[in-house]
Amino acid sequence: MTDFRGDTAAPTASPTQQSSRLSFTKGHGTGNDFVLTLDPEGEAPTDAAFVAALCDRHRGIGADGYIRAVRSSALPEGRALLQTDPGAEWFMDYRNGDGSVSEMCGNGVRVFAHFLLTRSAAELPEGGELAIGTRAGVKRVTRSGDGYAVDMGPWEFIVPEAAIARGTDSLVAIGGLDVDRPALSISMGNPHTVVALAEQTELDRTELHSAPAVRPLPPEGTNVELVVPADPLVGEDGVGRLTMRVHERGVGETQSCGTGACAAAAATRFWAGEGAPAQWLVTVPGGIVGVTFFDGPEGREHVQLSGPAVLVAEGILLPGA
């Protein structure tokens, strides 16, 4: 176990936050990485300065986001979910790397589930499911091969009138590309704006360290996915394929984004038209995730995200000297 000194990692954290040790685990899903802590009563720090310092890759532990495992009964958002889904014992309290609150994270849900299981805080028998509370509702996790699959719930257009009429709803200015590109905005419980590029060379030369400029910008900001559909789009196995890079709001470019992969597949499937497949493989810099569309219990189309979850280290964040 590694001791990590808070005085170098979190110089902006408040004295109250520096007064106690914080046990943490580092994990990732296809390179999308997180600092996780088991915090049943919701007592661990969450203010933006602390989270940003914790996730700093030079002075902190380094991560795309911070996840607290809190009992749903300990948070107002969790108690609200328990009213309709009492099985959601645990709530994934997620912050972006800059400390801002996010609705949820698709890769993070898989890593969160794996974290709970390894800590014996929850069980997931073969053929069973684990209900997890998030700010985007309850997500249900099952086992899938060597990883996990998550019912991400329904997807929807952010601007349905424009999407249906034109296939796009916005323009995006992207570093490395001379011309603004049309895009389609999709909600997976959090906002995404998907841009289709013609070829891999375009994707390779884009600059995503700074946020692409989206016009008009969705009210809560947006993640931006750049996708290159495979050629042919659908393989002999009937599975659609695409390659993606992503700029996450509050983080920057990341190795992977689970909800972004779902949004990218949804947009590409919509653009492909009738006969487009229900199953997709999305290649991201950190690996490959699976996306499957299916009819949900309430009559709306749901999206399932599948992929690996890996825990790589444990440690203790020490109070400042």
**Positions marked active-site:** 105, 257
Q: Which helix (H) or strand (E) holds 223?
A: strand 223-234
| Residues in contact with 132: Cβ distance below 8 Å, sequence separation at least 6, in sequence order | 88, 90, 91, 92, 109, 112, 113, 138, 139, 140, 141
Cβ contact 172:181 at 8 Å: yes
Closest CA to 28 of 112, 136, 117, 103: 112
DSSP-based three-state secondary structure for 45: coil
User: How many whole angstroms separate alpha carbon 230 and alpha carbon 220?
Assistant: 31
Q: Following DSSP, what letter does each residue of 171-195 receive, concatenated?
A: EEE-BT-SS-EEEEEEESSSEEEEE
Q: How far is CA 68 from CA 23, 34, 118, 189, 242, in A?
A: 11, 10, 15, 19, 32
Cis peptide upstream of residue 216 (ω within 30 degrees of 0):
yes
| Residues in contact with 16: Cβ distance below 8 Å, sequence separation at least 6, in sequence order | 45
Quick count: other Cβ atoms within 10 Å of Cβ 235?
Answer: 12
Closest CA to 68 of 106, 42, 29, 50: 42
Q: Report CA dihedral (140, 145, 146, 149) to the nearest 10 degrees.
A: -20
